[in-house]
Structure formats: C-alpha cells, structure tokens
C-alpha cells in the first residue's frame, strides 16, 4: 500500500532491471487493471517497445517507452515482481510482461485497485491523472507562502484531509501524513485555513523530512508492502503515531489515540498536537 517513499523504492529497483529491455509479449490476465484503452490496443502498442527509463511522479510509476509512457499506480496492494526467466503466474498475477532477453515482469495486485495506462508524450502531463497533481514535494517552488495561500481558501477542511489531497500536496498517504502532523505538533482536525504561515512551513519541512527518511529506509512495511525483491522497508520502526494506538508517546509519554477522520484511521498525540 504504497505512498511516495514506497513508490520511489520500487522505481529504484525496477529501473536497472527493465531499462533497455524490449517487450516481446504482454499477457493481460485481468482487463480491469488496464485503463484508457482496450486491452488489445494496450498490448498491441507495447509489443516491440523498449523501456528507456523508469521515472516517478507523485505515487505514479512512469515507464518511459520508445513511444510514449506506460503510467502505473499501485493503489493499495499493487506490486511488480521482476524475474530473470519465464515463470508461471501466481494468485493475483494480473499483467505479465516478457522481454526479448527472456526475463519477465509480473504485476500482482490482491485488491485489483491498481491501474496501467498508456500516454503519449504530449498527453502525459496535461491530461489526468498527472495533470491533477501538485508539484513534487521537493520542488523549491513548493513554499510555505504558496501552500498557506492555498490552504487559507479551504472553508472547513481539516488539515489532514487537505494534505492527503494530491492536488494540494503530493506524496503523503495515511502513514506519512499522521507522522508529519505529529512532528509538526499540529492536530489533524485543525481547519486547514487556521494554520499560520509558520505552522504551514513546519508542516512542509516535516513532510519533506518524513518522506526523505522513509525513502532512505526503503519505505514502511506495516502488513503487506514489500519491494520488488520481496524485501521489507524499515521506516515503520521509527513511527511516532501511526499504528501506535495506546502506546506511550515517545515525546510526552501519554497514550497515542486513534480517531476516524475523512474515513481514514487517524493517529495522534492529544498532548503534543493541540
């Protein structure tokens, strides 16, 4: 269930594996994964294409092809598994790529929420879904002033809900947004418009710190995430609030609480986050 650090970890693993390889066959075992085109068109376009590079934009994986891009989102449970040879699909294998060197890439997705879509170079950033994204969080143009201006226009929205909106801030999901708000000392239900520029800057800095540290640790494995090698991340060892319900806060010792906000489980310290 990847957020930006997990997707970045996946991209770093896939990049050396697929770069320079030419697609020989594509088996679509479940058409639900394919968006934008009929599966037949999807396959027909990919045959003979070479994967030039693997890039990331937000939580999307971008396979740069000879012609255009294959854009993939893992949603909750999507996983890519590289293999040096042809192997049989397993349960929940939905799309299988084989390359002219004999290696294969399997897409596995228990809940089938993940997507794959072809885009031309011209369409890529000016059509949904990528056109809807805010700037990358590490972009210097993401300033406290710009973010504060945007948040100040929100009527009643809670800061947590706003930060999960990828058109406002890119890369945070339910784990890292809770961690960001804890580190910034901001209560998740605070109206987004009520944050001062100083508080917004604290949120921005902590978000970048959390995302950066999580990338360095290969992401977080709470229950099911593994990278394409099957390895787990280790950032979960450093979590302050996510999944820590009832445990003593590492800053003040009072128990971490959990509530429901915007339909998502929300973890916070009632003392450190007023």
Partner DNA sequence: AGCACTGTTTACAT
Partner DNA sequence: TATGTAAACAGTGC
Binding mask 189-228 for DNA (x = CB under 7 A): ------------------------------xxxxxxx---
CB 137 within 8 A of CB 207: yes
Strands 34-35 and 115-119, bridge-based pairing? parallel
Query: What residues form DSSP beta bridges with 211?
Result: none
Taking the least distance from each CB to DNA, the nearer of 99 and 242 is 242
Residue 21 falls in the annotated catalytic set: no
Peptide bond connecting 197 to the previous residue in cis, omega within 30 degrees of 0: no
Taking the least distance from each CB to DNA, the nearer of 248 and 265 is 265
Which candidate in 2, 5, 137, 188 is catalytic? Answer: 2
Q: How far is the CB of 155 from DNA (least distance, A)?
A: 4
Distance CA 274, CA 263 (A): 21
Distance CA 176, CA 93 (A): 28
111 binds DNA (CB under 7 A): yes
Q: Any idea which residue has 């192997």 for tokens?
A: 87
Distance CA 168, CA 155 (A): 14
262 binds DNA (CB under 7 A): yes
- Residue 29's contacts (CB-CB under 8 Å, 6 or more residues apart) are 89, 93, 94, 95, 96
61 binds DNA (CB under 7 A): no
Residue 3 falls in the annotated catalytic set: yes
75 binds DNA (CB under 7 A): yes
Query: What residues form DSSP beta bridges with 99?
Result: 23
Q: How far is the CB of 228 from DNA (least distance, A)?
A: 13
How far does CA 223 lie from the centroid of its chain?
16
Q: Which two tokens stand for residue 260?
A: 């429901």
Task: Select the residue interacting with DNA from 233, 239, 244, 268 (CB under 7 A).
Answer: 233
Q: How far is the CB of 85 from DNA (least distance, A)?
A: 26
Sign of CA dihedral 192, 166, 169, 75: positive
Task: Select the residue interacting with DNA from 27, 64, 82, 113 (CB under 7 A).
Answer: 113
- Residue 245's contacts (CB-CB under 8 Å, 6 or more residues apart) are 255, 256, 257, 258, 267
Task: Select the residue interacting with DNA from 21, 112, 187, 250 (CB under 7 A).
Answer: 112
265 binds DNA (CB under 7 A): yes
Nearest to 29 by CA among 92, 79, 71: 92
Q: How far is the CB of 153 from DNA (least distance, A)?
A: 6
155 binds DNA (CB under 7 A): yes
Q: How far is the CB of 266 from DNA (least distance, A)?
A: 8
Distance CA 168, CA 206 (A): 16
Residue 255 falls in the annotated catalytic set: no
Which candidate in 13, 56, 57, 59 is catalytic? Answer: 59
Task: Select the residue interacting with DNA from 28, 154, 210, 239 (CB under 7 A).
Answer: 154
Residue 223 falls in the annotated catalytic set: no
Which candidate in 21, 64, 112, 264 is catalytic? Answer: 264
Instruction: List residues binding DNA (CB under 7 A).
Output: 1-3, 6, 32, 58-59, 73, 75-76, 91-92, 110-113, 128-129, 132, 153-158, 161, 164, 166, 173-175, 219-225, 233, 260, 262-265
Q: Looking at the annotation, which residues are catalytic? A: 2-3, 59, 264
């Amino acid at each position: 269930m990847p957020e930006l650090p997990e997707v970045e970890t996946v991209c770093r693993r896939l990049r050396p594996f697929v770069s320079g390889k030419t697609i020989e066959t594509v088996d679509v075992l479940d058409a639900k994964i394919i968006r934008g085109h009929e599966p037949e068109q999807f396959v027909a376009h990919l045959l003979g294409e070479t994967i030039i590079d693997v890039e990331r934009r937000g939580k999307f994986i971008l396979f740069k092809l000879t012609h255009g891009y294959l854009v993939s989102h893992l949603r909750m449970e999507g996983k890519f598994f590289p293999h040096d040879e042809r192997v049989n699909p397993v349960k929940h294998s939905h799309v299988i790529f084989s390359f002219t060197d004999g290696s294969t890439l399997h897409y596995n997705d228990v809940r089938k929420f993940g997507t794959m879509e072809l885009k031309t170079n011209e369409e890529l950033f000016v059509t949904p879904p990528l056109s809807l994204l805010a700037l990358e969080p590490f972009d210097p143009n993401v300033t406290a002033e710009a973010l504060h201006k945007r948040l100040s226009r929100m009527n009643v929205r809670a800061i947590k809900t706003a930060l999960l909106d990828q058109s406002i801030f890119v890369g945070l999901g339910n784990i890292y947004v809770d961690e960001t708000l804890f580190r910034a000392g901001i209560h998740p239900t605070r109206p987004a418009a009520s944050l001062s520029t100083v508080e917004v800057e604290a949120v921005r800095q902590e978000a970048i710190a959390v995302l950066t540290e999580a990338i360095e640790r290969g992401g977080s494995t709470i229950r099911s995430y593994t990278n394409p090698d099957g390895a787990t991340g280790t950032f979960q060892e450093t979590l302050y609030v996510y999944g820590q319900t009832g445990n003593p806060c590492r800053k003040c010792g009072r128990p971490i609480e959990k509530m429901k906000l915007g339909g998502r489980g929300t973890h916070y310290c009632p003392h450190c986050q007023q």
